[in-house]
Amino acid sequence: MTSLFFYGTLRDLELLDIVLGHNHGEVRAATLPGYAVYWAKDNAFPMAVAEHGAQAEGLLIEGVSQSDLDRLDFYEGGFAYATLEADVGGAKTARVFLPEPGMWQAGAPWSLSDWQAKWGAVVREGAREVMSYYGTLDPARVVGMYPAILSRAQAALNARSVAAPARGNTPSSTDVVVHTRDTAYAGFFNVVEATLQFPTFGGGLSAPVHRAIFQMADAVTVVPYDPVRDRVLLIEQFRAAPFMRGDADPWMMEPIAGRVDAAEGYETAVRREAEEEAGLTLRALHQVARQYPSPGAVTEFLVSYVGICDLPDDVVGVGGLSSEAEDIRSHIFDFEVALEMADAGAFRATPLLMTLYWLARHRDRLRGA
């Protein structure tokens, strides 16, 4: 049996139980002499740094089995952590997960309570997906998927945060019976296959049905609108899905859009995307709709906005993040011209059409304000 010392996120006992796959058992407070704990700069996790005279607070867990160690190595090892034996609290020798030298830079001093407040829920949810790959995927591949995993985790938290409305005799999601649920493909998106039965309107359960679901993060869209000049900004970019369908014109005119990252709200995400894709600073945001574009097979949930901003002639250009292979050209249209183009079928992205038609109904109010 082995003793382990945790100074970082695994001090969160709920997260530790998810990683171990069972209750953690007895733990006690301990310290690691000669180390201090800091945020890994520009990241959402901590790192221990050798520092003379410092003491890192943490938890000591004893009697750890080889199975537990294997699960912990899978969870931590892929994130460029190695283990060493250290004297903990002056009385015990324990294994400690420490970052590989030079992997990250130290930021501000780390706080467990601060991490739990912002990141705890989404990291716990993400850990459930991470550990579902234990024994099937290489840890390095899981690390490459980790930002997408956390975005999917944030989407699950968002979904659970909204209570179902009371609608008479409509069945509840808790009445759905799931027989099997398997991840057929895991990556930036997941494909999940499930066999389930759902309550029917006539009473009782349906026959078992097999469904394949395209699992995605939540996302936001925004059409920037200048009510003084009465014009909108739209973006144009290559889209792989229309191309793979065989579309002769896979360069799509769209609203600014992007996924909602972990621990990020919808409005924060939409302001960030406007800056990244078009260099725009949005003022007031007006929510257009909260919607599932294709609920038969896709989990993506969109929150769409109109964003008030200034749109002078020189605001157009080419933008996007090169790290995400974005090549985005922006265009300005007088609103009436954009609406005529929508009516003529020139635009094929549903969120854009929906937002333009919403703006047609609310434009006078926005211009008056």
Per-residue pLDDT at 258: 96
Point out the domain boundary residue: 101, 118, 148.
101
Domain contains 109: no
Catalytic-residue membership of 57: no
User: Please, are residues 329 and 236 in contact by the beta-carbon 8 Å criterion?
Assistant: yes
Per-residue pLDDT at 224: 98
Number of domains composing the chain = 2
- What does pLDDT average to over the chain? 93
User: Please, are residues 273 and 221 in contact by the beta-carbon 8 Å criterion?
Assistant: no
Lowest mean pLDDT among 188-192, 237-241, 284-288, 323-327: 323-327
Point out the domain boundary residue: 72, 101, 130.
101
Helix (H, G, I), strand (E, B) or coil at 19: helix
Q: Which residues of 335-348 are buried (b: 16+ CB within 10 A; e: fewer)?
A: beebbeebeeeebe
Domain around 34:
2-101
Helix (H, G, I), strand (E, B) or coil at 301: coil
- Decide if pLDDT at 1 tops 70: no
**Joined tokens for residue 216:** 């995605």
Per-residue pLDDT at 364: 97
Query: The domain spanning residue 82 has which CATH number?
Result: 3.10.490.10
Lowest mean pLDDT among 61-70, 84-93, 344-353: 84-93
Query: The domain spanning residue 337 has which CATH number?
Result: 3.90.79.10
The residue from 324, 326, 336, 340 that is catalytic is: 324
User: Please, are residues 252 and 348 in contact by the beta-carbon 8 Å criterion?
Assistant: yes
**Joined tokens for residue 114:** 């601060």
Domain contains 134: no
